[in-house]
Chain A
């Protein structure tokens, strides 16, 4: 009986989350003609643009440059969108939160879910690009699943913490913007790591965002399994941040309501 009830509320929450996500996507493309197609088209055009400019500069040491860029773009863009939109989730949904009894994390999670859906849509063009550039299928491609799983955990943890922080301090948005710009600049989106200064290489290798980019490229583009240290980092960043975020969220969420 208890279990049943639990299941019911859970499925209700998932339903609400879906509706919130739908609303968000609709709102995002409200006035546009092409609508959701932009989610597919945008990264594709982005990749074409970067490839035109840089394939000459960087192509000498990066094979299949467009795929290289696209893989990184999908990962980095997911993380950026998820965390920056989730950061303001609590504040944006203030009214809804006061009126309903929904668990507060639903609002944060729905932003993450939106970013996931968006990444899913962008992947449609990605598959085509992979085929065009003759990326041969390999079993290692399945390794993208744990990679995305831990990436999502990582994004959820960071978002939990950020959404709370944003309620208490408005400067947090600017601070995070700067942190994010460091994290994404040092994530080897459009250049290769080999040509960088040794110190910078070490720094990049510890960057959580780069970790997920690196594993994604290895298992899809190069059909290899990344070095064990990246797998350890992948899981550690994911689980670690998820737990930290969750603890922060649990202890502070009641004070958030007072503050709002």
Chain B
């Protein structure tokens, strides 16, 4: 039985990996929603509530039209949620799966990809709320919205790259999870989620252009809300980010994830 599996085609192996990822993901999502009557519906409600509170608060402060401001904020919170959900999942993907790694021969890669997959599913639920908001506010979505999958793929690659680095780092240095929280706080407020980047100090405006989450958010805003091509600078930066981070992450992961079990 086992031999057959190992001698089978590469294609089959990849298919079985996908199966494992789906299994792990559905187990994880299931345990998260265990006993909840509304279950997955919370993944639609919670992002909506946080978007609404932020919009109510800051539409007035920054003198924005509420109807336009809601989708503006929501684009930001959803993209941020995807990044944060994915990366914090990856962060614990090795250190939290000690038993699984000891007992099975599961490729380490799969543990990281599974976390990305869970974050992606969660994002799909918040997108349901997003579509409702777009319709309710009468936002016209045009041709350029078709570029969104590109943004999602680039973001996913960045998440995976950074996630791999985080996963390995967390095994050797557990304090990384605190640093992660601090940095993400910085990134949350520094991603222009509820304000335009122009209000920041000139120095911060320079810094924010190096923040991949901000880049991804502003990519999504141009194509969905403004129906325009994202600026060349954003494209270039995002692609460079994705390539560099992914290569770096894969290298570090290959080296670092070997004797992980012994370290844990």
Contacts and interface: CB of A to CB of B under 8 A. Distances in A.
Contacts of B54: 185
Nearest to B54: A185
Contacts, number: 85
B13 interface: no
B173 A182 contact: no
B182 A45 contact: yes
Interface residues on A, range: 20 to 34
A46 B182 contact: yes
Contact of A196 (B50, B61, B174, B201): B61
Interface in A33-61: 33-34, 38, 41-42, 45-46, 49-50, 52-54, 56-57
A174 interface: yes
A49 B174 contact: no
B172 to A, nearest CB: 11
Contacts of A49: 182, 185-186, 189
B151 to A, nearest CB: 24
Interface string B162-174: 0000000000011
Given A33-B173, A42-B178, A53 B53 contact: no
Contacts of B173: 33
Nearest to B183: A49
A234 to B, nearest CB: 23
Nearest to A41: B178
Given A33-B173, A54-B189, A42 B182 contact: yes
Given A53-B204, A195-B60, 18 more contacts: A34-B178, A45-B182, A50-B185, A52-B186, A53-B189, A54-B189, A56-B204, A57-B201, A170-B34, A173-B36, A174-B38, A174-B45, A178-B49, A181-B46, A181-B49, A182-B49, A182-B53, A185-B54
Contacts of B201: 56-57
Interface of A: 31-34, 38, 41-42, 45-46, 49-50, 52-54, 56-57, 169-171, 173-174, 177-178, 181-182, 185-186, 190-191, 195-197, 200
Contacts of A53: 186, 189-190, 200, 204
Interface in B41-72: 42, 45-46, 49-50, 53-54, 56-57, 60-61
A236 B54 CA distance: 28
B56 A181 contact: no
Nearest to B189: A53
B204 A174 contact: no
Nearest to A201: B60
A221 B65 CA distance: 34
A50 B182 CA distance: 10
Nearest to B174: A31
B60 A174 contact: no
Contacts of A200: 56-57, 60
Contacts of A181: 46, 49-50, 53
A53 B207 CA distance: 10
Interface residues on B, range: 20 to 34
A185 B49 CA distance: 11
Contact of A197 (B46, B53, B60, B200): B60
Contacts of B60: 195-197, 200
Interface in B173-206: 173-175, 177-178, 181-182, 185-186, 189-190, 195, 199-201, 204
A18 B235 CA distance: 55
Contacts of B37: 169-171
B138 interface: no
A196 B59 CA distance: 9
Contact of B175 (A34, A182, A190): A34
Nearest to B52: A182
A183 to B, nearest CB: 9
A33 B36 CA distance: 36
A53 B60 CA distance: 20
B35 interface: yes
A186 B174 contact: no
- The 4 closest A-B CB pairs, nearest first, are A170-B35, A31-B174, A56-B201, A197-B60
A172 to B, nearest CB: 9
Contacts of A57: 195, 199-201
Contacts of A196: 57, 60-61
B262 to A, nearest CB: 15
Contacts of B175: 32-34, 38
Contact of A186 (B34, B57, B199): B57
